[in-house]
A and B are shown apart, each in its own frame.
Chain A
Amino acid sequence: MTINKNLNGSELTLGLEGRLDTTTAPELETVIQNELSDVKELVFDFKNLEYISSAGLRVLLSAQKIMNKNGNMKIINVNDMITEIFEVTGFIDILTVE
Chain B
Amino acid sequence: MKFDLKGRIDSINASEIEKEIFDSLPDDEQSPVVLNAENLEFISSAGLRVILHIKQTHPNLKIVGVNSDVYEILDMVGFTEIMTVEKAYRVVSIEGCEEIGRGANGTIYRIDSDNVVKVYNNADALADIQHEREVAKLALILGIPTALSYDVVKVGESYGSVFELLNARSFSKIIANEPEKIDWCVDEYVKMLKKIHSTVVPSGKLPDMKETAVTWAEFMKDYLPDEAGEKLCTLMNNIPHDDHMIHGDYHTKNLELTADEVLLIDMDTLAVGHPVFEFASIYNAFVGFSEYDHEIIKKFQGFDREKGIEFWNKSLSKYFGTNCKAKLKEVEDKARIVGYTRMIRRSIRRGGLETESGKAEIALWKDELLQLLEKTDSLVFNVNELEIEAVKENLSDVQDYVTGYLEQVNCPKKQIMQISVAVEEIFVNISSYAYAPEIGRVIVRIEISQQPLTVSITFIDHGVQYDPLKKADPDVTLSAENRDIGGLGIFMTKQIMDDISYEYVDGKNILTLKKDI
Point out residues on A near B: beta carbons under 8 Å.
Answer: 21-23, 50-55, 57-58, 61, 64-65, 68, 80-81, 84-85, 88-90, 93-95
Residues in B neighbouring A68, C-beta threshold 8 A: 480-481
Are B396 and A23 in touch, CB under 8 angstroms?
Answer: yes
Set of chain A residues within 8 Å of B483, measured between Cβ atoms: 61, 94
Interface residues as binary, B257-299 with A (CB distance below 8 Å gives 1, 0 otherwise): 0000000000000000000000000000000000000000000
Q: Contacts of A23 on B, CB cut-off 8 Å?
A: 392, 395-396
- Asked whether A22 and B424 contact (CB < 8 A) given A61-B485, A81-B414, A90-B476, the answer is yes
Most chain B C-beta atoms within 10 Å of own C-beta, residue among A53, A65, A68 = A53
Cross-chain pairs A/B with CB under 8 angstroms, 20 sampled: A22-B392, A23-B395, A51-B417, A51-B421, A53-B420, A53-B421, A53-B425, A54-B421, A54-B492, A55-B428, A61-B480, A81-B414, A88-B476, A88-B492, A89-B476, A89-B492, A90-B476, A90-B477, A94-B480, A94-B483
B424 touches A53 (CB 8 A): yes
Of the candidates A22, A50, A80, A85, which one forms a contact with B492 in the assembled complex, judged by CB atoms under 8 Å apart? Answer: A85
The answer on a CB contact under 8 Å between A50 and B417 is yes
* Those 9 A-B pairs whose CB atoms lie nearest each other, nearest first: A90-B476, A88-B495, A54-B489, A54-B488, A94-B480, A64-B480, A53-B424, A81-B417, A58-B485
Cβ-defined partner of A93 (8 Å) among B414, B417, B477 = B477
B488 engages A89 (CB within 8 Å) = yes
Contact (A88, B496) CB under 8 Å given A22-B428, A61-B480, A64-B480: yes
Q: Which B residues contact A (CB, under 8 angstroms)? A: 392, 395-396, 399, 414, 417-418, 420-421, 424-425, 428, 476-481, 483, 485, 488-489, 491-492, 495-496
User: Which residues of chain B come closer than 8 Å to A57, judged between CB atoms?
Assistant: 485, 488
CA distance A54 to B396 in the complex (A): 15
Write the nearest CB–CB distance from A19 to chain B, whole angstroms.
8
* In the complex, chain A residues whose CB is within 8 Å of the CB of B417: 50-51, 81
Contact B414 A80 (CB under 8 A): yes
Q: How far is the CB of A26 from chain B (nearest CB, A)?
A: 10
Q: Which residues of B contact A55 (CB under 8 A)?
A: 424, 428
- Contact status A81-B480, CB under 8 Å: no
User: How far is the CB of A97 from the nearest CB of chain B, in Å?
Assistant: 13
Apart from A89-B495, A94-B483, 14 more pairs, CB < 8 Å = A21-B424, A22-B392, A52-B421, A53-B424, A53-B425, A53-B489, A55-B424, A57-B485, A58-B485, A61-B480, A80-B414, A89-B491, A89-B492, A90-B476
A51: which B residues are within 8 A, CB to CB?
A: 417, 420-421
**Number of A-B pairs whose CB atoms are under 8 Å?**
65
Nearest CB in chain A to that of B424: its residue: A53
Tell whether A85 pairs with B421 under 8 Å between CB atoms, given A61-B483, A90-B477.
yes
Smallest CB–CB gap between A84 and chain B, Å? 8
A61 to B495 Cα, complex, angstroms: 19
B residues near A58, Cβ cutoff 8 Å: 485, 488
Interface centre among B414, B478, B491, B492 (most CB of A within 10 A): B492
B476 contacts across to A, CB distance below 8 A: 88-90
Question: A35 vs B495: C-alpha distance in the bound complex, in angstroms?
Answer: 34
Nearest to B475 among chain A residues (CB) is A90
Closest to B393 in A: A23
CB neighbours (8 Å) of B495 from chain A are 88-89
Contacts of B485 in A (CB 8 A): 57-58, 61
How far is B423's CA from A54's CA once the two chains are assembled, in angstroms?
11
Within 8 Å by CB of A54, from B418, B425, B479, lies B425
Complex CA–CA separation, A51 to B416 (angstroms): 10
Complex formed: what's the CA distance from A40 to B421 in Å?
32
Measured between beta carbons, the chain A residues less than 8 angstroms from B399 are 21
Please name all residues of chain B whose beta carbon is closer than 8 Å to the beta carbon of A53 when the two chains form the complex: 420-421, 424-425, 489, 492
Contacts of B418 on A, CB cut-off 8 Å?
81, 84
* Bound-state Cα–Cα, A57 to B399, Å: 18
**Complex: chain B residue closest to A90, CB-CB:** B476
Q: B399, B421, B425, B495 — which one has the most chain A CB atoms within 10 A of its CB?
A: B421
Residues of A contacting B478 in the complex (Cβ-Cβ under 8 angstroms):
90
Q: Which residues of B contact A22 (CB under 8 A)?
A: 392, 395, 424, 428
Task: Using CB atoms, name the residue of chain B closest to A73.
Answer: B480
In the bound complex, CA of A81 to CA of B495 (Å): 13
Q: Which B residues are CB-close (under 8 A) to A93? A: 477
Task: Decide if B492 touches A21 in the complex (CB within 8 Å).
Answer: no
Chain B residues near A89: list those with CB within 8 A: 476, 488, 491-492, 495
Residues of B within 8 A of A81 (CB): 414, 417-418
Min C-beta distance of A44 to chain B, whole Å? 15
Instruction: Give every chain A residue within 8 A of B492 (Cβ-Cβ).
Output: 53-54, 85, 88-89
Chain A residues, Cβ within 8 Å of B428? 22, 55
Provide the bound-state CA to CA distance between A52 and B392, in Å: 16
Residues of B within 8 A of A64 (CB): 480
